[in-house]
Chain A
Amino acid sequence: MIFKKSTYNLILASIFALLLSACAQKAAKIDSQIQGDVYTGTDTVEYLADGVPDRVFFATNESVLTTASRDTLRKQAAWLRKNSDINVVLEGHADERGTREYNLALGERRANAAKDYLMTYGISENRISVISYGKERPVDSGSNPLAWSKNRRSVTVKAN
């Protein structure tokens, strides 16, 4: 009986430990994907060419480019210089936690932040157009901070 009880406790304890580590892993997974409110994961990222990510992410209500975003955009600029026949559309987006009209303006501001950076790296203005979708076209349907961070983005899309 005593033996059985201790086995039972052991099982309980190990289940508990498993649950804890699952929780910790989940938290760690989210932590590793968001830094200071900006998405740093790769779940939704597509590639314009090998090693050239198509999108950059923003903090809530912000249009400031992070170090990682600038790095991505320099790669895009290099790729655009090599492929001078390709034009792009920068699609700016916001998360669902803002009013519709303000988010349209915010998406436009984000896409333009990316456009300005590409232009500083030698890409001609007439190769880049900009469109804002505000909160109208999320990539992640979820109503949670991770989903929102994926949706606050500017995506570079080939126009031709």
Chain B
Amino acid sequence: MKILKSIILIIFILLPLKLHALIEVDITRGNLNPLPIAVSALYSDKETTENLKKEIKIDQIGDEISKVIENNLKATGLFNPLEKKAFLQKPDVAHLKPRFEDWSLIKAQALITGKVEFKDDKVRVEFRLWDVLAAREMLALAFTTVPNNWRRIGHIISDKIYERLTGEKGYFDTRIIYVSEKGPKTQRVKKLAIMDQDGFNTKYLTLGNELVLTPRFNPTNQMVTYLSYFKNLPRVYLLDIETGIQEVVGDFPGMTFAPRFSPDGKKIIMSFAKDGNSDIYTMNLENRIVERITNHPSIDTSPSYSPDGKFITFNSDRSGYQQIYVMKSDGSKVKRISFGNGLYGTPVWSPRGDLIAFTKLHKGKFYIGVMRTDGTGERLLTENYYQEAPSWSPNGRVLIFYRETKSNSDGEGFSAKLWSIDLTGYNERQVITETDASDPSWSSLLSN
């Protein structure tokens, strides 16, 4: 966690960006023709390579950074990184001035080149994005940081490229917090874990001594809220992942659960269960004032704020079955929005504000879907035996969720894994984790 604090990112604009729209990637449709892109290894001279090898035990830093970029772009489903073996031009020459004919010959439409330098214990990484068909540069930036941050540089470059080519913010310089799972189903050991969005740099934040569930990021800083059964009392906790300091949220005489932050990060919204009834409460983290938001004899839980903080979506069984509702953030004007067949739960408001993602249970199958905030336009993205708990990428284009498989009476066949899917319903893929995993939550962009 110290790395985050010590990071120094200096961005130079190498060239003024007077550019017309050149290549564009349309991300609003499922992209069945991903853009062919060549990611050349970033060039570094012999001395730099040797020094960095000593410093951080990485043989070919430029090559490794280019792999981070390739993997990120590939995972979006929008880009098709081409095989490096087919490249005709060497990285150093290409970075100075690409021979565009050589790159169009292998069908690349975009090209990324770059250079790594090592001076005064800092690495300086510059890259250029080229439009091959128009034969011109689209973007050129440089970053300086400590060598250990080299993967983050790869993510930040990926974000800049994604933004330049799609017109939307990227989501690569982000992390996922989730629950790591091990052991038999009847005695599952669960720990909080955090990793980079691409599955690297996994760290475990709890030891597994007590059951932990549903971690969620504060959208404005490195705080996390989650449910812990510490001392066998299920309570909402607040954890600072930089210092490791944690505290109970509020002083409730019973179970608190289903926590999330408000968009400004200043409140936690959660459920409090008492005498068989769960209602929604908020606690202001600055003045510790607790407010009751719903007051109904049904189960009201899984609350999530709209990005402007003015509304809350939640699920309730007040109609007899679990359905999705929207209300104003003071609890007034409660309105049911889900009316399809089946049960609806875990609503989460998109960071763009226009959609609510949810879990649906219908005829023994679980679906992840989205609907507009008034409940119209329901679209089911994926169907499976069991899956739930979608969380949005910070740009609102991708959902991450977890999926469980069936097991026999001995628990054989059971697994819990993280998956992601594009908002269009295309590009479903497993997010690889070191252990079984559930309850993913996506952070905001770490840098902008």
Contact = CB atoms under 8 A, between A and B. Distances in A.
B162 interface: no
Nearest to A132: B255
Contacts of A47: none
A126 interface: no
Interface stretch (A7-15, A23-31, A48-56, A91-99): A91-99
Given A109-B276, A109-B277, A104 B409 contact: no
A102 B301 contact: yes
B341 interface: no
B367 to A, nearest CB: 12
Contacts of A112: 275-276
Interface string A20-47: 0000000000000000000000000000
Nearest to A91: B232
Given A96-B404, A99-B345, A112-B276, A136 B386 contact: no
A98 B302 CA distance: 13
A137 B302 contact: no
B273 A105 contact: yes
Interface string B249-265: 00000110110000000
Given A109-B276, A109-B299, A112-B276, A101 B271 contact: yes
B123 interface: no
Interface stretch (A68-76, A78-86, A138-146): A138-146
A149 interface: no
B301 A142 contact: no
A88 interface: no
Contacts of B345: 98-99, 101-102
Contacts of A143: 385, 406-408, 413-414
Contacts, number: 110
A101 B257 CA distance: 7
Interface in B400-441: 404, 406-411, 413-414, 438-439
Contacts of B273: 104-105, 108-109, 132
Contact of B389 (A99, A116, A132, A139): A99
B271 A105 contact: yes
Q: How large is the interface on B (under 10, 10 to 19, 20 to 34, 35 or more residues)?
A: 35 or more
B361 A101 contact: no
Contact of B185 (A100, A131, A132, A141): A141
A156 interface: no
B439 A141 contact: no
B113 interface: no
B53 interface: no
Interface in B185-244: 185-188, 211, 213-214, 227, 232-234
B44 interface: no
Contact of A104 (B258, B346, B438): B258
A104 B257 CA distance: 8
A97 B213 contact: no
Interface string B58-81: 000000000000000000000000
- Interface-central residue, A98, A143, A147, by most chain B CB under 10 Å: A143
15 contacts: A97-B361, A98-B361, A99-B345, A100-B438, A101-B271, A101-B346, A102-B317, A104-B234, A106-B299, A108-B273, A130-B254, A131-B234, A141-B186, A141-B414, A142-B407
Given A100-B439, A136-B211, A141-B409, 18 more contacts: A63-B276, A96-B386, A98-B343, A99-B346, A100-B389, A100-B438, A102-B345, A105-B271, A108-B276, A109-B273, A116-B276, A131-B233, A131-B255, A138-B186, A141-B184, A141-B185, A141-B407, A143-B407
